[in-house]
């Protein structure tokens, strides 16, 4: 964290569905290499927040600048940002009609204009990194949930993004598979990747986060370093929330 | 389920009774003389002058119907795909335009649509591109026989083209709906994953959405192509020499009303039945 210009700068961002404010004047800045964990009750706008960062969701007001590019209507800007921002979904969203290897090489070949052989080498490299080199030629449906999510992470990494977004990457997994995915994410954190992660895995948050963001009703209710957040949350709502999820 | 019930016998008996009634009406009351023997020559006959078998007018009509159906299906598929993609477009104007086209076709009788397409579109296009003159040149040229395989008598090429255009424009709306339904059956997450990789829209469609939508698109498309063959009869209204047009001509010259129409019905029925058998076989093949 030597470079002090933020790689993500959200200023007064609002997103309104009908007459419901899913995001209400949210401001957040993230430095290169910084790891942010976002938590909060269901419906508080966590998904909306990170989906705005690669324009899967558009914002109605405020500004979002990612890696020096302001997100707006311009599709070329949007695609430029998406090339630098990887996203991992709760439901994996692997392409079921393609093999694992094809899932990984599609982006590099079509977007980065790599040759097939170079893309396959890159893909095998990242499959190694997520510890499933032997599954390259299988189809997603032949893998366990934990393996699928690791493929999905590898798919995003193959684009060699500068930022990784995670939207509850372990919520759809059986408990025994959660750790294999979290381990991969911890290793990724070790490489200095900028990460924004929506999760309720507080053990993981403690281990990797530089900064905790607590959301409530479309607003950021609290931003704090993890030590402070877990030991002494300033808002009553955050305290209640922590009590509830730490009970389990 | 296989066992024949007394109710089945009853229905069968009623049907026979009705057929018998129609028969006696035709035979007795109308004093109709059946002349089945004249029909075969209109399918195929031996030409003494040229010394070879040639197609009669019904067979020529059938060949034209097949040509129109095949070529219109291809064109309808292209237009329909564009229309289906337009229906799912981001741009509101594009979506509205596609929607309007569909609603117009849905809510105007097909016969009216056919005439409108004919006079307002295909006639103008044919005049604009001088297709008339072009086709006449080909008919006189050396490779006329090759063109005839695909397009029949080249002197009637403009008429065939308008038949194809009109039919394709008409069917494209329904093909478009099938494509749209296929595209929209793909979960949103698939498209979001493609987008988040930075894939441009056409790659998202080409590599992620359409390959998956195929399973949903192909079976109804096969059905639609059978419907298209049946609907092709409508182009006889704009004087395209298809099977229906030729049957009308045959009836007016020979007065063999029942024989001619029964024959034509059997030909259409056989053609569509063969198609459906073919598609069923292909579908089974692709399941494996
Ligand atoms: N496309 C949409 N149309 C209408 N309302 C939406 C849409 N997307 C999200 N919302 C609403 O916005 C609010 C915030 O949604 P969001 O998905 O960001 O919450 P979340 O914090 O991720 O919740 P969860 O923990 O359940 O995933 C919710 O009340 C949701 O109903
Ligand atoms: Mg969510």
Q: Could you tell me if residue B270 is inside a domain?
A: yes
pTM for the full model? 0.82
- Whether residues A85 and B193 touch (CB distance < 8 A) is answered with no
- Please tell me which of the candidates B197, B203, B212 has its beta carbon nearest to residue A97: B212
- How long is chain B? 288
- Whether residues B198 and A95 touch (CB distance < 8 A) is answered with no
Q: Which of residues 7-46 of A touch B (CB under 8 A)?
A: none
Q: Could you tell me if residue B158 is inside a domain?
A: yes
Any ligand 1 atom below 6 A from CB of A42: yes
Asked if B172 and B179 count as a contact pair (C-beta separation under 8 A), the reply is no
Model confidence at A163, in pLDDT bands (50, 70, 90)?
very high
Distance CA(B171)–CA(B220), nearest Å, equals 13
What percent of chain B clears pLDDT 70, i.e. is strictly above it? 98
User: What would the mean pLDDT of A54-79 be, rounded to a whole number?
Assistant: 94
State residue A248's pLDDT score.
Answer: 60
Which of A95, A139, A163 to mutate to test binding with chain B, by most B CBs within 10 Å of its CB? A95
- B35-91 tens-digit pLDDT: 888 888 888 888 888 888 888 889 999 999 999 999 999 999 999 999 999 998 888
| Chain centre distance of CA A76 | 22
User: What would the mean pLDDT of A161-166 be, rounded to a whole number?
Assistant: 97
State residue A3's pLDDT score.
Answer: 61
Q: Could you tell me if residue B163 is inside a domain?
A: yes
Q: Could you tell me if residue B156 is inside a domain?
A: yes
**What's the ipTM?**
0.93
Q: Which residues of chain B neighbour A80 with C-beta distances below 8 Å?
A: 198
Express the helix, strand and coil content of chain A in percent, nearest 5 each: 40, 25, 35
B78: tokens are 């292209």
Q: Could you tell me if residue B124 is inside a domain?
A: yes
Q: Could you tell me if residue B135 is inside a domain?
A: yes
Q: Which residues of chain B neighbour A97 with C-beta distances below 8 Å?
A: 211-212
Asked if B209 and B49 count as a contact pair (C-beta separation under 8 A), the reply is no
Nearest CA in chain A to B192: A56
State residue A195's pLDDT score.
Answer: 97
User: What would the mean pLDDT of B212-224 be, rounded to a whole number?
Assistant: 92
- Whether residues B190 and A83 touch (CB distance < 8 A) is answered with no
The domain in which residue B231 lies consists of: 58-287
Q: Could you tell me if residue B2 is inside a domain?
A: no
- The correct answer on CATH 3.40.50.300 for the domain covering A8-93+163-246 is yes
Q: Is the pLDDT of residue A30 over 70?
A: yes
Distance CA(B222)–CA(B280), nearest Å, equals 9
Domain count, chain B: 1
Q: Measured between CB atoms, does B207 come within 8 Å of chain A?
A: yes
- B153-201 tens-digit pLDDT: 777 888 888 889 889 998 999 999 999 999 999 999 999 999 999 999 9
Q: From ligand 1's centre to the CA of A47, what distance in Å?
A: 7
Query: Which mutation among A40, A42, A43 tests ligand 1's pocket best, with the greatest number of atoms within 8 A of CB?
Result: A43
Distance CA(A161)–CA(A157), nearest Å, equals 6
Distance CA(A52)–CA(A23), nearest Å, equals 10
Q: Is the pLDDT of residue B258 over 70?
A: yes
- B6-33 tens-digit pLDDT: 888 999 999 999 999 988 888 877 777 8
Q: For residue A57, give the H/E element and its range.
A: none
Asked if B275 and B65 count as a contact pair (C-beta separation under 8 A), the reply is no
- Whether residues B193 and A95 touch (CB distance < 8 A) is answered with yes
CATH number of the domain encompassing residue B93: 1.10.3720.10
User: What would the mean pLDDT of A63-67 be, rounded to a whole number?
Assistant: 96
Q: Could you tell me if residue B19 is inside a domain?
A: no
In degrees, to the nearest 5, what angle opens at C-alpha A18 toward C-alphas A14 and A24? 20
Q: Whose CA is nearest to atom 22 of ligand 1?
A: A47
B279: tokens are 């598609």
């Amino acid at each position: 964290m030597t470079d002090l210009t933020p790689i993500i700068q959200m200023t007064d961002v609002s997103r309104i569905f009908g007459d419901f404010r899913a995001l209400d004047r949210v401001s957040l800045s993230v430095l290169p290499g910084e790891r942010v964990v976002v938590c909060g009750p269901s419906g508080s706008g966590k998904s909306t927040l990170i989906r705005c960062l690669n324009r899967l969701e558009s914002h109605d007001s405020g500004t979002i600048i990612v890696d020096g590019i302001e997100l707006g209507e311009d599709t070329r800007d949007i695609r430029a940002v998406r090339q630098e921002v990887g996203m991992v979904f709760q439901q994996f969203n692997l392409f079921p009609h393609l093999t694992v290897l094809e899932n990984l090489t599609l982006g590099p070949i079509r977007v980065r204009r790599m040759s097939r052989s170079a893309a396959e080498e890159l893909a095998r490299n990242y499959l190694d990194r997520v510890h499933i080199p032997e599954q390259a030629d299988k189809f997603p449906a032949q893998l366990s949930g934990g393996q699928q999510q690791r493929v999905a992470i590898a798919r995003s990494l193959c684009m060699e993004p500068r930022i990784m977004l995670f939207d509850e990457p372990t919520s759809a997994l059986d408990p025994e598979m959660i750790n294999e995915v979290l381990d991969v994410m911890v290793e990724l954190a070790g490489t200095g990747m900028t990460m924004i992660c929506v999760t309720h895995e507080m053990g993981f948050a403690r281990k990797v986060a530089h900064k905790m963001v607590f959301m409530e009703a479309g607003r950021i209710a609290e931003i704090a370093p993890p030590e402070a957040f877990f030991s002494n949350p300033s808002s009553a709502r955050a305290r209640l929330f922590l009590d509830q999820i730490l009970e389990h | 389920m296989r066992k024949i019930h007394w109710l089945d016998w009853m229905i069968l008996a009623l049907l026979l009774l009705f057929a018998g009634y129609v028969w006696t009406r035709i035979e007795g009351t109308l004093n109709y003389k059946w002349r089945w023997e004249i029909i075969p020559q209109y399918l195929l006959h031996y030409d003494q002058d040229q010394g070879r078998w040639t197609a009669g007018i019904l067979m020529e009509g059938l060949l034209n119907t097949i040509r129109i159906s095949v070529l219109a299906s291809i064109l309808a598929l292209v237009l329909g795909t564009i229309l289906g993609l337009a229906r799912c477009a981001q741009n509101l104007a594009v979506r509205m335009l596609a929607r309007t086209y569909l609603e117009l076709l849905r809510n105007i009788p097909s016969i009216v649509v056919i005439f409108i397409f004919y006079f307002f579109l295909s006639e103008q296009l044919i005049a604009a591109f001088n297709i008339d003159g072009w086709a006449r040149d080909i008919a006189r040229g050396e490779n006329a026989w090759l063109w005839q395989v695909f397009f029949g008598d080249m002197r009637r090429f403009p008429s065939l083209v308008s038949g194809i255009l009109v039919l394709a424009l008409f069917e494209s709306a329904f093909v478009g709906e099938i494509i749209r339904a296929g595209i929209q059956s793909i979960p949103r997450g698939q498209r979001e994953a493609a987008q988040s990789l930075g894939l441009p829209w056409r790659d998202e469609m080409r590599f992620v959405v359409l390959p998956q939508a195929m399973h949903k698109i192909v079976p109804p498309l096969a059905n639609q192509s059978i419907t298209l063959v049946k609907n092709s009869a409508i182009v006889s209204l704009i004087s395209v020499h298809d099977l229906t047009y030729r049957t009308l001509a045959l009836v007016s010259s020979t007065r063999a009303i029942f024989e001619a129409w029964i024959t034509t019905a059997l030909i259409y029925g056989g053609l569509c039945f063969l198609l459906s058998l073919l598609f069923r076989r292909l579908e089974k093949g692709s399941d494996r």
